């Protein structure tokens, strides 16, 4: 069963295993940057980071310049950490081009099992609960799996800007969840 959970240091071992599995691949929706790893691996580092992610959900002053408040969640499949997803609460001009309201990533070993579809559907309900309708979801032009996931969730392709597909996905029918 797919569920979204707030990031927690209680899943530190699974987190680092997932980070290692992604290797050099960007973990969309995670707010994680590889150059931060050393600091996050220090005692208390991961705990402080997940606290910062929680603050970025409600406090714009905790958000780096050029970014927006966002709800960060970890994707769990039957309790196992398999990905990340973020719901951005509003869009900047840059997010209108690349990024959109929702960004997500599924670890390579958990792909092709419906994880992204389940997580995106929950995130769309979260978006609806915040009054976001429709939600902009983007993916790389050559990421056909993500394009199918977005389209399967009702996404309508607006255009392709450079190498980015831009979809608008209705959320109003999904307003029945709190995560």
Per DSSP, which regions of 35-149 are E strands?
A: 70-77, 80-88, 102-106, 135-140
Task: Show the CA angle centred on residue 100, arms to residues 97 and 104, nearest 5°.
Answer: 125
Mean pLDDT of all residues in 28-46: 95
161: left (phi over 0), alpha (psi -120 to 50) or beta: beta
CA distance 80 to 1: 10
Q: Which two tokens stand for residue 2?
A: 């797919």
Do 72 and 93 contact (CB within 8 A), yes or no?
no
pLDDT of residue 178: 42
CA distance 160 to 164: 5
173 confidence band (pLDDT: 50, 70, 90): low
Do 31 and 50 contact (CB within 8 A), yes or no?
no
List, in order of start, the domains of the chain with CATH numbers. Answer: 2-174 (3.40.630.30)
CA distance 155 to 147: 9
Mean pLDDT of all residues in 6-22: 97
Q: Which two tokens stand for residue 79?
A: 């309790």
- Average model confidence (pLDDT) across the chain: 94
Mean pLDDT of all residues in 6-21: 97
Return the SS3 of 108.
helix
Q: What is the pTM of this model?
A: 0.93
Render pLDDT for 64-93 as a digit per residue (tens, 0 to 9): 888 899 999 999 999 999 999 999 999 999
């Amino acid at each position: 069963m797919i569920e979204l959970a707030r990031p927690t240091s209680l899943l530190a071992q699974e987190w680092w295993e997932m980070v290692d599995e992604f290797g050099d691949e960007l973990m969309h929706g995670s707010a994680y940057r590889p150059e931060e790893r050393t600091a996050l691996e220090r005692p208390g580092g991961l705990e402080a980071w997940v606290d910062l992610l929680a603050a970025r959900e409600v406090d714009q002053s905790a958000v780096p310049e050029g970014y927006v408040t966002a709800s960060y969640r970890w994707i769990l499949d039957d309790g196992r950490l398999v990905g990340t997803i973020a719901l951005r609460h509003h869009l900047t001009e840059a997010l209108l081009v690349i990024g959109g309201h929702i960004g997500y990533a599924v670890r390579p070993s958990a792909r092709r099992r419906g994880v992204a579809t389940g997580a995106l559907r929950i995130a769309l309900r979260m978006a609806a609960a915040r009054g976001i309708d429709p939600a902009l979801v983007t993916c790389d032009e050559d990421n056909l799996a993500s394009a199918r996931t977005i389209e399967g969730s009702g996404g309508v392709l607006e255009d392709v800007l450079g190498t980015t597909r831009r979809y608008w996905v209705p959320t109003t029918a999904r307003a029945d969840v709190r995560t």
